[in-house]
Amino acid sequence: MKSLKTCAVIPAFNEEENIGEVVRETRKYVDNVIVVDDGSTDKTFEEASDADIVLRHPVNMGKGFALGTGVEKALENGSDIFITLDGDNQHNPGDIPKLASILVDDKLDVVFGSRSLNGDMPLVLRFGNWWLCKTAQLLFGSRIEDSQTGFRAFRREAYDKIRWSSHHYSMDSEIVMNVGRNKLRHRQVPIKTHYHCRHKGTTVVDGVRIFLNMLFWRVRG
């Protein structure tokens, strides 16, 4: 991938314990790292300082909004390939070359890092994820096995069709909807995930909200 510029965009909300390591690992695999500190009240901003760019929302806006802020910056920066991954160390940055090279070599629009739904994933997440994937398939024709993954790669040219407007966790399903509706070329690639401390993360209420949003998008057309 000689001439294509790669950029990782990492949303982070109160991730002072994880973001430093995520940034240092991610730097090994991309040209630029952008962190969006989403109104954290801890030392996330300072801990992210090894990134090329650290943006800061004055107040918490939600993961979807934070990723939007980061991708807009990466576009300005002239990046060609965007990789999104979480700032809580759940993803392995070492998987980035795999996602990016499949995207480029197979001339795809999006590559999803797909977590195993029968491995370490806690039961409630596994069921919720399955349910949301089935809903997306029925409503939008998207055949994605892990629609809630935050680890994905896409190319600049596809961003207009992928672009989401959800501020919170529904953004992952909105991308899946956009892939189905716009028939974007995509692939799912297995990735490893760690489920360490789950003091935060998607809840059942988030799952219901995502489901209702999908119904709304379907009706709105």
Tokens 């596994």 sit on residue = 126
For position 90 contacting ligand GDP by CB under 6 A, the verdict is: yes
111, β-bridge pairs = 153, 187
Of 142, 147, 136, 139, residue with least CA distance to 183: 142
For position 87 contacting ligand GDP by CB under 6 A, the verdict is: yes
Which part of the chain contacts ligand GDP (CB under 6 A), choosing from 12-20, 26-34, 126-134, 152-160? 12-20
Query: How many residues does this entry show for the chain?
Result: 221
Choose which of 88, 95, 109, 174 interacts with ligand GDP (CB under 6 A): 88
Cα dihedral 171, 124, 20, 33 sign: negative
Element (H or E) spanning 220, and its range?
helix 204-220
Any idea of the CA torsion for 196, 133, 191, 72, to the nearest 10 degrees? Answer: -90
For position 146 contacting ligand GDP by CB under 6 A, the verdict is: no
Element (H or E) spanning 2, and its range?
none
For position 207 contacting ligand GDP by CB under 6 A, the verdict is: no
Task: For Mg ion, give the closer residue by CB, 121 or 144.
Answer: 121
Distance CA 96, CA 170 (A): 23
Choose which of 31, 72, 92, 201 interacts with ligand GDP (CB under 6 A): 201
Task: For Mg ion, give the closer residue by CB, 47 or 88.
Answer: 88
| Strand 6-12 versus strand 110-115 pairing type | unpaired
Choose which of 90, 135, 148, 166 interacts with Mg ion (CB under 5 A): 90
Which part of the chain contacts ligand GDP (CB under 6 A), choosing from 80-88, 106-114, 126-134, 213-221? 80-88
Residues in contact with 3: Cβ distance below 8 Å, sequence separation at least 6, in sequence order: none
Residue 13 binding partner per list ligand GDP, Mg ion, none, with a CB distance cut-off of 5 to 8 Å that depends on partner kind: ligand GDP
Choose which of 31, 117, 201, 211 interacts with Mg ion (CB under 5 A): 201
Interface residues with Mg ion (CB under 5 A) are 88, 90, 201
Which stretches of the chain bind ligand GDP, using CB under 6 A?
A: 11-13, 15, 38, 60, 62-63, 66, 86-88, 90, 150, 200-202
